[in-house]
Structure 1
Amino acid sequence: PQYAVAHFACHAESDRTDPSQSRLLLGDHATTPLTVAALARINLTDARLAYLSACSTADPGSPDLLDEAIHLTSAFQLAGFPHVIGTLWPINDRLAADIAESFYTHLTPGPPGGALDPARSATALHHTIRAIRDRYPATPSLWAGYLHSGA
């Protein structure tokens, strides 16, 4: 609760029948899963940015629920993170590391190693994804699934 930025580089699972049970697959996920339902009970006042570098964290699950916003990305936002980076479908692990590195570089307005500015999250993701899109223009499945949720 005392950290403003949370970065999760892991796997995730979308529960298609009960989206509130969608979870990040952390080390203790078998005994204490970090689910949408668990995040709903959390209220973080110092939170600023959650980066979910995991597959399908903004996937609502069943096609019957496409008009719902029950997924990990929205759960982090409801827990108090005004900026959340999520993904709509499975992502490439190697490219995910490049995207995260570029994102954090763009999130630092001053010289390298300076303070992160979470308010720049949408712009940082935009510049990052444009650069990746330029590298892989014929393969949008590699870059189009990343999204920024927040204000």
Structure 2
Amino acid sequence: MPTTPHVVGRLPFVDAETAMLQARLPDSVILREPDPADGPADPTPSTPTKANVLAHLPRCAIAHFACHGASHPADPSKSLLLLHDHKDDPLTVGSLAPVALDRARLAYLSACRTAAIDTTRLLDEAIHLTSAFQLVGYPHVIGTLWEIDDRIAVRIAKTFYEGLRSDTAALDPDQAARALHEAVRSVRDGHDLPPGKDRTRTPYVWAAHLHAGA
């Protein structure tokens, strides 16, 4: 979702993230938001609508979302990923419940605040998009605690998928926790800061991503 209907602000590095994924997942299916410059058009099977996404999820071992996310402050089950039809038919936490995900192994939510909880009375509960993907069947889920930088998100994702490669060159989602740890560390260690600044004191730049699973 390099652009999102009814949302101001482009995600300029989403296409770079998509290209990176296609290079590492050669049999991938890409659902991409049409360019608004081409004018309005009816959704097609390749448009990232809720229905299209839910139709593909049961057949995909790895699901990667590069889009905006929104955390609902009062009802975490209404937290959502902002897809093409998020206004009329949003992909919420609750909408994942009926999906059969027998092949699911990894969901990567490259979006803002997919593991955020904004209601103080629910701070002890893990009710957000990241936990929802885990509960519906994904053994490994990558989420975020706050707003993330679009450019850095690509760097973390690239290093993460490189870290999933096994000795046979295949991707092993069971290495997700280690791969994310190494990806975040690499961004932290390589983050450019003005002289005298301590990169470990600016975790908001590199520390938003987390792994849920076992």
TM-score (norm 2): 0.67
1:33 counterpart (90, 95, 103)? 90
Query: Higher strand proportion, which one?
Result: 1
Greater gyration radius: 2
Aligned counterparts of 2:100 and 2:129: Cα–Cα separation in 1: 15
Q: In the alignment, residue 153 of structure 2 is paired with which amino acid?
A: A
Alignment correspondent of 1:2: 59
1:135 counterpart (183, 190, 194)? 190
Unmatched segments (≥5 aa) in structure 1: none
Aligned counterparts of 1:7 and 1:58: Cα–Cα separation in 2: 15
Q: In the alignment, residue 125 of structure 1 is paired with which amino acid?
A: L
3-state SS of paired residue (1:115): coil
Deviation at 1:61, TM superposition (A): 2.2
Aligned counterparts of 2:93 and 2:74: Cα–Cα separation in 1: 13
Q: How does 1:106-145 map to 2 (within 5 A)?
A: 106-110=163-167, 114-136=169-191, 137=199, 138-145=201-208
Aligned counterparts of 2:59 and 2:94: Cα–Cα separation in 1: 21
Aligned counterparts of 2:185 and 2:171: Cα–Cα separation in 1: 20
Deviation at 1:41, TM superposition (A): 2.5
* Structure 1 runs of 4+ with >3 Å offset: none
Unmatched segments (≥5 aa) in structure 2: 1-57, 192-198
User: Taking CA–CA contacts closer than 8 Å with sequence separation of 6 or more, which of the two structures ends up with the larger relative contact order?
Assistant: 1
Alignment correspondent of 2:210: 147
Aligned counterparts of 2:123 and 2:99: Cα–Cα separation in 1: 25
Aligned counterparts of 1:54 and 1:74: Cα–Cα separation in 2: 14
Bigger mean CA offset, 132-141 vs 83-92: 132-141
Q: How does 1:12-91 map to 2 (within 5 A)?
A: 12-91=69-148
3-state SS of paired residue (2:59): coil
The number of residues matched between the two structures is 149
TM-score (norm 1): 0.94
Aligned counterparts of 2:59 and 2:118: Cα–Cα separation in 1: 31
Identity %: 58
Q: CA RMSD in A?
A: 1.2
